Structure 1
Amino acid sequence: MAGTKLRFGAFIAPFHPLDENPTLAIERDLELVQWMDRLGYDEAWIGEHHSAGYELIASPELFIATAAERTRQIRLGTGVSSLPYHHPLMLADRINQLDHITRGRVMFGAGPGALPSDARMMGIKVAQQRDMMDEALDAIVALLRGETVTRKTDWFTLDEARLQLTPYSRPSVEIAVASQVSPTGARAAGRLGLGLLSIGATSVGGFNALASNWAICEEMATSHGQSVDRSGWRLVGPVHIAETREQARQNVRFGLEKWIYYFREVAALPLAPMEGDPVDALIASGLAVIGTPDDAIAQIERLERQSGGFGAFLQLAHNWAAFEQTKRSYELMARYVFPRFQELNTNRRASLEWARDNHAALLAEQVQAVGSRVVQHIQEKGTENISPEILAMLPGQGPAKPA
């Protein structure tokens, strides 16, 4: 019997350097989601950012509405909506509308906001963002589940608020909370019975915190009368693969340095120190896969051992390689990595092994069946049109004789 099917997707911030046309960059993100849909990826999560120039998507909802029109089956999530930037009723209403527009393909990812530069422009103190997220998340979850909410905080008021549309998905869209190293996301996910998005799962700190964060999530769920499931836990990590390790390393020279520059100098997000060749450093730290499908398999197996099990692996989208090479990397994941974790070839392998093990007997039966028909023909018509090779297969037959 088949086991649990690991899902695959992408976490698309995105990251676009300043030397290219931003209109075309956003279009390429849409093309990537279309490509993933054709390859059979399960999910794509779209970020929200408002400053720093690289992460161009300000409204994941607008992107999702566009992508939904261009795709057939891939599920589309906000990855993530920054809750302190939105009134809870307005954000919940937009997500609920997307639930109907996409016929249930939308997912809601929530977080406090990743870029302090975003918060500063809106007059939000970074120290308050996580408390604001918790306050908004409580309200949004209740609204998306069809409840009426009355609540007053120092930054929003809800007065008998409710969504006017019954959710398309019941009891609501799937909801997940972003988590990195701190327990903030794990606590919120457990307290409300939500999924968990471990965005920095392959960073040193994030990797080391995987098991403890899930334990916190489960403990909080139990103490609040909720339940959580590992199938709703998603781990994120960067990947670029090619047919050989040498080709993968060559491919990422295209844009890796610009990505590193953004994280080190602009985004105010942690990136481990990297001495020497950045490709070697990323691989050695475990942060990234730059190699072959086998290297991607090894990374996911490593995450499985560390975490104890999870439901989906999301590739952190990047522009390390040219777009055609990036698309090829996603294709190689679908062709050679998915089957390892989704048991796609289990029955095929069993069938091949059975046919191999019974090859001699099956071949004998085939020869006997063909031979009987040849004998029947000879008895009726003689051997005039029978080739010597076929006659040689018949027991007791020597060289062909005239009819």
Structure 2
Amino acid sequence: MRLGYFSMPLHPLGRTWADTLREDREAVILADSLGFHDAFIGEHLTDRHENITNSLLFLATLISDTRQIKLATGTTNLSQQHPVLVAANSAMFDHLAGGRFILGISPGALTSDAEALGILTEDRNKMFAEAIDVITAIWESEPPYAIDLPGNRFKVTTESTMDTDFGVGYLPKPLQQPRPEIVGTVVAPFSKGVIAMGKRDFHPLSANFLLPQWVATHWPNYVEGKQAAGATADPADWRVARTVFVADDPATAASYGRDDENSPYRFYYSQMLKKMKKLGRLQLFKTRRDQPDEEVTLDYVLDKLVITGTPESVAEQILALREQTGDFGELVYAGLDWVDPRLARRSMELMAQKVMPDVNAALA
């Protein structure tokens, strides 16, 4: 099982933007030094807590400071950019990174982003589907292009302006051929989007704020999509994100990972709980449809969704998670604010150097 890293990231108010950006960079650089396989970075335009506005731009600052880790958008919000821009900029990034690039994609869920861009009333899921079709078509075709897909708002050609002598009218192709790995974040139980991922050979990443029983619903849908395409689903292509804190002793694990009022894990899930209530998506935290809302407390959510303990305990919890969800290829460690940088760094070190070796030894 591989180890990955994912950060939305979610910081408390009062910290300077430069400080949180520096910290977020340090986390990825540390992950690289510890042998993490990849690092997914999220983006939002209008969120003061999740304040990376462009994941590709942020990741570009890390190319020269990392050596082996794959740098992944987590995600590029496809309703917010023209697909020609995504295709061209992603292709250039792939070359700059020497092929260490993964394109993570989603429609873009934050409604205030959509309002700011004037697309609040648009069907952003449809825009997302149209955009990814155009991006892959650009990478698969040659100029002057004739991308005019039925029902797709995005039409792409350079036919009337292409000039071979001047070298204009050409859109760049990525270094990785036929294309970089494309990963879609899955945030809903029984997601039908996972079926489409399987059909297109995109790979799913199940969100860290989903209960294990809902994460388990993703794999059968992915298998269905792969079978529809005449292919076999490989568990190695499935990533499962979890919120994890590892400490050298149980008391620190319980305090920093859950109980202390200054715990970043407590802060993260208090924010997520507020967001899901406002969005009417509290059912994501429920074990059954008829569960009363008042049972979904912060402590309940922390108990269900935070894996914390000593390395031995965390390894056991990850193996138990795998029993619930089925086999998957990568555990993606969710990065949070570094309230205590020493403990945050130590958790990542223990995760890479003790937990994952124990997990893989048990699996072997």
TM-score (norm 1): 0.76
Q: Which amino acid aligns with 2:172?
A: L
Write out aligned runs for 1:4-403 (5 A).
Answer: 6-125=1-120, 128-146=123-141, 148=145, 150-151=147-148, 153=151, 155-159=153-157, 164-182=171-189, 183-200=191-208, 203-204=210-211, 207-226=212-231, 228-252=233-257, 253=260, 254=262, 255-266=264-275, 268=278, 270=281, 272=285, 278=298, 280-285=299-304, 287-319=305-337, 321-343=339-361
User: In the aligned structure 1, how far is the partner of 2:254 from the partner of 2:297?
Assistant: 11
Q: Which amino acid aligns with 2:271?
A: Y
CA distance in 1, matches of 2:256, 2:184: 33
Give the equivalent residue in structure 2 for 1:368: none
TM-fit CA distance, 1:56: 0.9
Q: CA deviation at 1:294?
A: 2.4
Aligned to 1:349: none
User: CA deviation digits over 1:362-393, x for unaligned, max 9?
Assistant: xxxxxxxxxxxxxxxxxxxxxxxxxxxxxxxx
CA–CA separation in structure 2 for the residues paired with 1:274 and 1:338: 36
- Give the conservation status (yes or no) of the 8 Å contact 1:274–1:281: no
Matching residue's letter, 2:238: W
Partner of 1:390: none
Between 1:258-267 and 1:293-302, the stretch displaced more is 258-267
Q: Could you tell me whether the CA contact under 8 Å between 2:266 and 2:302 is conserved in 1?
A: no
Structure 2 contact 192–221 (Cα < 8 Å) conserved: no
Q: Deviations over 1:265-312 (max 9, x none)?
A: 35756464686994x534532x11122222321232133222321111
Check conservation: 1:143, 1:149, Cα contact below 8 A: no
What are the Cα deviations for residues 27-59 of structure 1, in whole angstroms up to 9, with x where unaligned? Answer: 100011111111111110011111121111111
Higher mean C-alpha displacement, 182-191 vs 70-79: 182-191
What's the offset of the Cα at 1:89?
1.1
Query: Secondary structure of the residue that 1:159 maps to in structure 2?
Result: coil
**Partner secondary structure for residue 336 of structure 2:** coil
Q: What is the one-letter code of the residue matched to 2:198?
A: G
Cα distance change on mapping 1:242 and 1:121 into 2, 3 Å: same
Residues 195-225 of structure 1: per-residue CA shift (max 9 Å, x gap): 111114x622xx2233432222221222234
> Would you say the 8 A contact 2:134–2:154 is kept in 1?
no
Higher RCO by CA contacts (8 Å cutoff, separation 6 or greater)? 2
Q: Distance in 1 between the 2:51 and 2:113 partners? A: 12
Distance between the aligned counterparts of 1:43 and 1:170, measured in 2?
19
Distance 1:95 1:122, change over 3 A: same
Aligned alpha-carbon RMSD (Å)? 2.7
The answer for the alignment partner of 2:166 in structure 1 is none
CA distance in 2, matches of 1:337, 1:7: 12
- Which protein is richer in helix relative to its size? 1
Gaps of 5+ in 1: 1-5, 347-403
Instruction: State which structure, 1 or 2, has the greater radius of gyration over its C-alpha atoms.
Output: 1
SS of aligned partner of 1:157: coil
8 Å CA contact retained: 2:213, 2:325 = no
Q: What are the Cα deviations for residues 164-220 of structure 1, in whole angstroms up to 9, with x where unaligned?
A: 3342112111111111224143022112111111114x622xx22334322222212
Distance verdict in 2 for CA 1:43–1:163, change over 3 Å: farther
Report if aligned partners of 2:32, 2:66 keep a CA contact under 8 Å in 1: yes
Counterpart Cα distance in 2 of 1:149 and 1:232 = 32
Measured in 2, the distance between the counterparts of 1:241 and 1:257 equals 15
Find the aligned partners of 1:126 and 1:229 in 2 and give their Cα distance: 38
Distance 1:120 1:227, change over 3 A: farther
Cα distance in 2 for partners of 1:231, 1:20 equals 38
Q: Structure 2 stretches of 5 or more lacking a match?
A: 160-168, 286-292
